[in-house]
Structure 1
Amino acid sequence: MPPTPTTRLTTGSDAPADQPSAPTARTLIGVIFALTAVLLVMLCAFALPSVNGGPHHVPLGLTGPQQATQPLQNGLDRDAWDVTVYPNPQALQTAVKQREVVGGLALGTGGLTVYTASAAGQQTSAAINALGTAMAARQQSKATVQDLVPFPADDPRGAGFTATAFPMLIGGILPAIALLRLFPGHANLRRRLAGVTLFALVAGAAVAAVLQYGFGSLHGTYWLTALGLSLGMAALSIPFLALESLLGFAGLGVGAAVMMLLGNPLSGLAGPYWLPTGWATLGQLLPPGASGSLVRALAFFDGTGAGRPVLTLAAWALAGLLAILIADRRTARGPQPETTSVAAI
């Protein structure tokens, strides 16, 4: 008779080697705490700038008799307002239009005139208006408000402009991811670089056309605004490609997270002086904030104040190009992978 097969009980250690092991309870707890930490970081990144929002070293102009301006200057919060005194209302108006100050108060015998520039920041302009109204009430007079640099009549609150930060950020991330999928590998590195550059030019022109001619949110020279938007997108997508070339998809993920969690909430499109000073400075050094400042300068102030954001964005783009060249040379000098012929197999 043939031998009877014996039944053998297997334990977890006897399972096939190719069967994946189930995550342990320790792994589950670690994942839960890691996800909670990410959620808290996102909460702080988006909520803290709003919670601590308010006037922070806002450049404010004053003009009028010294016996009226001096007590007001002494009574203002120095952490909130940086005051400059001008000889007459005309000089103050010029200073607002040239972005030396974002608004001002003109004190005179006929009452008080409040000069604002809502295109420089809606919240800051509202704070200056409230300051002037309160001062006029104490003097039992009336405040007259003149918005010297307003948003266009079709979008008087600047909603279209302030909403551009997130689309511009996505416009920097998506083309990098799409081109990495379509043209993977070191051999397609230059093709990806050409692709993101072309996308930035086309997308910048399209976004500027929609904002200016579709929504009526911008005015100024269309092509300059379009080039500003294109430079902002290139300053995001080229460094993303560089991070992927150096560190793989992990580098792309880290770069996207930094721009999402810091660049977007600190962009200052509603007015950089409404953020705490250190946060505002950091936001203007990142591509989303620099892009917003550049578009604001080109679309509303005839290019005044565009120099610094142009240099910031160009530095990001050039740093990305340099990193891509480093990755290109490092890969070219590396050991070539061995090829095995089909016949040998």
Structure 2
Amino acid sequence: MSRQQGASPRTPIGRVVAVGLALAAVVSIIVLAFAWPAVTSDPHDLPIGITGPDQAVAAAEAVVDEAQPGAIAFTALDDRAAAVEAIESREVYGAIVLGEQPEVLTSSAASLVVHQLLTGVAAQLEAGVNAQAAAAAAAAGAPAAPPHIAVEVTDVVPLADTDPRGQALTAAMFPLVLGGMVGGIAISFAIIGAMRRVGAVVVYSVVGGLALAGVLGPWLGALPGDYWTNAGVIALALSAIAAPITGFVALIGRAGIAVGAITMMLVANPISAAAFPREFLPGGWGAIGQWFPPGAASTLLRDVNYFPQADALFPWLVLAVWTAAGILLSGVGHFRTAGGAEPDAVAAHEDDPEPELAAARA
């Protein structure tokens, strides 16, 4: 029986196979991008302060390096007060204070993973200190074992009581990245005109910052800091993700959506170090991730909520530069009709009154 006249032709088998293979490749890349940091994460050169007598410091460094080879890079500090100051300014994740009463200082707000690691280090130091004391007493012929020396663990900057495990703060980062992407993509489809999209990004970012700061702050308790500061950080983070997407669309057309989405979701988000310290990523990728909006936003939110003494200029600048770059791309696309987001006939009349714009579309 012959094919009915007017029936749609079937998709060629070659295209079916090609589409299936392409989609499988895309899924594999997505899974790899998100699973790779978790699988390969391992501490490398974590900055940890140490203070005390030279002999005790050398012995402690040897004990820690034997238990955690290459995990910790020690920074010499003057005293306990200097160690606390270094932790509060995020120069180090924690510190070991040696002397008559040894102590390990940590900061669960900086990283719960490192806090747990240093708690284990405290146990190792306690065992080593008491073993040395017992050996010295035995060598001196002491009739009784020396008193047990406890190594106290002090959380200098703890997480908020409303988020004691830091799960809400960590979990909030992915929706924030996704929200910036969704905003940029939706604006690219819904709004005609490069500069009109810039206005939409501004409105979306400001309103989104105010709303999300309320949800993550007073409602969920993930952000215990100042509401208006958090709203500003979130608004800038949303614009730093959305503006480049609309900028790419203005410059190269709808293909810009793919460029922006791949950059933010598959490249920047996995190396953002939102879930664990940047030192856990191999090959310096954690440091590279801080140059992208997801990593900068994660660091900045942690700084403004828990570490007001830290120098947060760099993440502020990163978010501002990405926002400005997106606006600049939109400005270039606004004056460049060929290859722009809209057909030339539409882009050339984007600032005309509505009747003329409708005529141009027709």
| TM surpasses 0.5 | yes
SS at match of 1:157: coil
Residue 60 of structure 1 contacts residue 84 of structure 1 at CA under 8 Å; is this kept in 2? yes
CA deviation map 1:108-164 (0-9, x unaligned): 223x31111111111122112212222212223422111111111111111111111
Q: Return the offset for 1:107.
A: 1.4
Distance in structure 1 (CA, Å) of the matches to 2:309 and 2:23: 43
C-alpha change, 1:113 and 1:203, in structure 2 (3 Å) is same
1:219 to partner: Cα distance: 2.2
Cα distance 1:19–1:248, how it changes in 2: closer, same or farther (>3 A)?
Answer: farther
Measure, in 1, the Cα distance between the counterparts of 2:155 and 2:207: 34
Residues in 2 aligned to 1:59 and 1:321: alpha-carbon distance in whole angstroms: 37
Per the alignment, residue 193 of structure 1 pairs with 198
Indicate the residue corresponding to 1:132 in structure 2.
122
CA distance in 1, matches of 2:86, 2:179: 35
Q: Deviations over 1:79-122 (max 9, x none)?
A: 42221111211111111111111101111223x31111111111
Alignment of structure 1 residues 42-191 onto 2, 5 Å? 42-74=30-62, 76=65, 79-110=70-101, 112-140=102-130, 141-184=149-192, 186=193, 189-191=194-196
Q: What is the deviation of 1:59?
A: 0.7
Percent identical residues: 34
Cα gap change, 1:23 to 1:124, in 2 (>3 Å): same
Post-superposition Cα deviations, 1:295-344, rounded to whole Å, max 9, x if no partner, equal 111111116231111111111111111111111111289996499xx9xx
Distance 2:233 2:345 in 1: 43
Of 216, 225, 232, the match for 1:220: 225
Query: Does the aligned pair in 1 maintain the 2:278–2:285 contact within 8 Å?
Result: no
Structure 2 letter corresponding to 1:113: E
Question: 1:151, 1:217 within 8 Å by CA — same for their partners in 2?
Answer: no
Name the Cα RMSD after superposition. Answer: 2.5
1:273 is matched with 279
> Can you give the 5+ residue segments of structure 1 that lack an aligned partner in the other structure?
1-8
Q: Distance in 1 between matches of 2:27 and 2:344?
A: 42
**Alignment partner, residue 3 of structure 1:** none
Q: Distance in 1 between matches of 2:100 and 2:118?
A: 20
TM-score (structure 2 length as normaliser): 0.82
SS in 2 for 1:59: strand
Is residue 297 of structure 1 aligned with residue 299 of structure 2? no
Distance 1:280 1:160 in 2: 21
Aligned length: 324
Long gaps (5+) in structure 2:
131-148, 347-355
SS at match of 2:50: strand
Which of 214, 233, 246 pairs up with 2:238? 233
Q: Relative to structure 1, is the Cα distance of residues 104 and 332 closer, same or farther in structure 2, using a 3 angstrom cutoff?
A: same
Counterpart residue identity of residue 144, structure 1: E
